[in-house]
Amino acid sequence: MSDFIKDQRAQLRSLMKQKRHELDTYSLYSSSSVIFNTIASHPFLSQKRIIGSYSSFKNEIDMQNINAHLKALGHEVYLPVINSKIKGHMDFYSYDEHNLVVNSFGIKEPAALTQNKADTAKLEILLVPMLAFDLKGNRLGMGGGYYDRMLKRVSSDCLVIGIAHEFQKLQYIPVQSWDMPLDEAITEKEHYIFIKKY
């Protein structure tokens, strides 16, 4: 792996964490509400049943209403659970808003009950958090490599959609061989389509 790219990504990560930290509550609220509507009216939503999503933390777009809405519509909704025994590994477990526990990062996750575990290969839509993205669909995450590893196990038919604030769009994100590109990104300003799957 190139140390140069690794350093560039680390620098960008720290800059974008800072920017997100400075976001005001009103922008977070209003952008989350616009993105709720974009996801709720996504043209493929009615054709897909099994959705991987996430619980937000630290000024990420608020996914709580979105997750509840998707579940109320009858979708199967799964959220990540970090596996503390395997480095960079997470699995998805079914979402129940009344049954979430806070993990070591301060992110709410479902209890890891075997009977509630998703078959990652069966996910049809995956909503992905990101610190930054570019118009080629490259993504910068929090740096654990969790999504890079997980996306390798997802079906090539699964629609992978990054969720972010518009200010997280950058001109160029340096990538490494294992970085998995997004199909789409949704911000409060735009619905970007990088790869037209359907």
Ligand X SMILES: Nc1ncnc2c1ncn2[C@@H]1O[C@H](COP(=O)(O)OP(=O)(O)OP(=O)(O)O)[C@@H](O)[C@H]1O
- List residues binding ligand FFO (CB under 6 A): 17, 54-57, 60, 80, 90, 105, 107, 129, 141-144, 146-147
Based on CB atoms, which residue is closest to ligand X, 76 or 91?
91
Minimum distance from residue 17 beta carbon to ligand FFO (Å): 6
Query: Is 137 annotated as a binding-site member?
Result: no
Q: Closer to ligand X by CB, 56 or 75: give it.
A: 56
Nearest to 124 by CA among 157, 148, 96: 157
Residue 58 burial class via C-beta count within 10 angstroms: exposed 0-12, middle 13-18, buried 19 and up:
middle
Residue 173 backbone class (left: φ over 0; alpha: ψ -120 to 50; beta: rest): beta
Q: Which does 107 bind (CB under 5 to 8 A by kind): ligand X, ligand FFO, none?
A: ligand FFO
* Residue 86 and residue 57 in contact, taking contact as beta carbons nearer than 8 Å: no
Among residues 120, 83, 79, 117, the alpha carbon closest in space to that of 100 is found at 79
User: How far apart are alpha carbons 170 and 158 in whole angstroms?
Assistant: 25
Q: Tell me the closest approach of the beta carbon of residue 108 to ligand FFO, in angstroms.
A: 9
Terminal alpha carbon distance of the chain: 34
- Nearer of residues 93 and 147 to ligand FFO, judged by Cβ: 147
Partner from ligand X, ligand FFO, none binding residue 125, C-beta < 5-8 Å depending on class: none
Q: Which one of ligand FFO, ligand X, none interacts with residue 140, CB within 5 to 8 A by kind?
A: ligand X
Nearer to ligand X, 23 or 175 (CB): 175
Chain residues in the site for ligand X (CB under 6 A): 6, 9, 88, 140-149, 176, 178-179
